[in-house]
Structure 1
Amino acid sequence: MKRERLISERNKKRKTQLQVAQDLDISEVYVRKLESGSVNPGRDTMFKFENYYKVDAKKLFPDIFLRFDDKKVIKDKPSASA
């Protein structure tokens, strides 16, 4: 899942992936992979982006924070004597 907001924020700042990487002291390849959604950031990296763009991490990385509601109920196994 491409992280459109992450890309949009970079474009608003008129920064290249290389410039963002240098500003955040990470690799350009890592920035590219984060934007494409092929890797997930660690907590520290997420905070770097949040502070850099002044945007909540949940908006920058929405796929990581997707709500998951598991409604399936696991039923008790029938007893062996039944």
Structure 2
Amino acid sequence: MIRKRLVRERVKKGLTQKQVAEILGISEVFVRKIEKGTANPGRKTMLKFELLYGISDRELFPDLFYVDDDTICIKTKFALEVSR
């Protein structure tokens, strides 16, 4: 899943992935993977992106803060464990 907001903010500032990597002190490949959503940043790296773009980490990385409200699966699993 491409993190569109992250890419949009980089482009809005007129930065390349290489420039972002240099500013944040990470590799260009890692920036590319983070933007594509194939790699997740650690907390420190998320904060660096937040400071660079002036946008909250929750807005830049919504997929990492998404809460799945799948209570049916939890209830089913609990019922199976109790019945054993």
Relative to the length of structure 1, the TM-score reads 0.89
Measured in 2, the distance between the counterparts of 1:31 and 1:71 equals: 35
Q: Which amino acid aligns with 1:11?
A: V
Q: Give the gaps of 5 or more residues in structure 1.
A: none
For structure 2, the 5+ residue unaligned runs are none
Q: Secondary structure at the match of 1:55?
A: coil
Match in the other structure for 2:9: 9
Task: State how far apart, in whole Å, the 2-side matches of 1:23 and 1:44 are.
Answer: 14
List structure 1 runs of 4+ shifted beyond 4 angstroms.
none
Q: Higher relative contact order by CA 8 Å / sep ≥ 6: 1 or 2?
A: 1
Map of 2:57 onto structure 1: 57
**Secondary structure at the residue paired with 1:63?**
helix
- Taking structure 2 as the reference length, what is the TM-score of the superposition? 0.87
1:77 aligned partner, one-letter code: S
Query: As a proportion of its length, which structure holds more helix?
Result: 2
Q: Taking every aligned residue pair, what percent have the same amino acid on both sides?
A: 51
Give the superposed CA RMSD. 1.0
Map 1:1-80 → 2, pairs under 5 A: 1-72=1-72, 73=75, 74-75=78-79, 76-77=82-83
1: CA distance, partners of 2:30 / 2:62: 18
Which is greater in Rg? 1
Paired with 1:71 and 1:22, the residues of 2 have a C-alpha distance of: 43
SS of match in other structure, 1:47: helix
Cα distance in 2 for residues equivalent to 1:55 and 1:8: 11
